[in-house]
Amino acid sequence: MEEVVHAHGHEHVAATHESTFEVTTDDWLTPAGDCIVGIEADRAPTDFDDDFVAACRDPGATITLTLETADVSQQVRARGHPDLTFESDRSAVVRTSTYVDDRTVAVGADAAAADLDRDLVDALADGAALTVTLSVE
């Protein structure tokens, strides 16, 4: 089962946060948003299919996130959590920790913004189109 989010980068994408990365529906980004890798997302967690959400609530679920631009692709593996709500209508956050709030879509990730491929980050800082595919098993 999968969900796909389309967004794009912004000149302020720095991807230096050490425990999260985020894609937001906001159409702006300040330099303080060091975890945000994509803006103007066409979907938020509240838009995801109920069956996908239920599958992500299984603590044994593996969630694979594929971040792609035209030239660079990277996969991040994370886990599900029973407290995931997918209620945010604004942002999707992936965390290396087990902290959960309404924006969290996966926990225990093997990478945060600071760990992303710098070629990917550079492309996003240049405003590249970003596709984020979330797959749950």
pTM flag (> 0.95): yes
Residue 13 identity (one-letter amino acid): V
Could you tell me the pLDDT band of residue 113, with boundaries at 50, 70 and 90?
Answer: very high
The Cα diameter of the chain in Å comes to 37
Task: Count CB neighbours of 28 within 10 A.
Answer: 10
C-alpha dihedral over 96, 14, 127, 37, to 10 degrees?
Answer: 20
State the residue for tokens 């087990």: 98
Question: What is the structure's pLDDT at 56?
Answer: 98
Domains of the chain: 2-136 (2.60.120.630)
Could you tell me the pLDDT band of residue 99, with boundaries at 50, 70 and 90?
Answer: very high
Mean pLDDT for 42-61 is 98
- What separation in angstroms does the CA of 4 have from each of 60, 67, 125? 22, 10, 21
- Phi/psi class of residue 58: alpha, beta or left (left: φ > 0; alpha: ψ in -120 to 50)? beta
pLDDT in tens, 64-97: 999 999 999 999 999 999 999 999 999 999 999 9
Please give the structure tokens belonging to residue 23.
């894609």
pLDDT in tens, 13-51: 999 999 999 999 999 999 999 999 999 999 999 999 999
Residue 77 near residue 136, CB atoms below 8 Å: no
- Which stretches within 2-108 are classed as H helix? 50-56
3-state secondary structure of 35: coil
The end-to-end CA distance of the chain, in Å, is 7
Could you tell me the pLDDT band of residue 9, with boundaries at 50, 70 and 90?
Answer: very high
Could you tell me the pLDDT band of residue 52, with boundaries at 50, 70 and 90?
Answer: very high
Question: What is the structure's pLDDT at 96?
Answer: 98
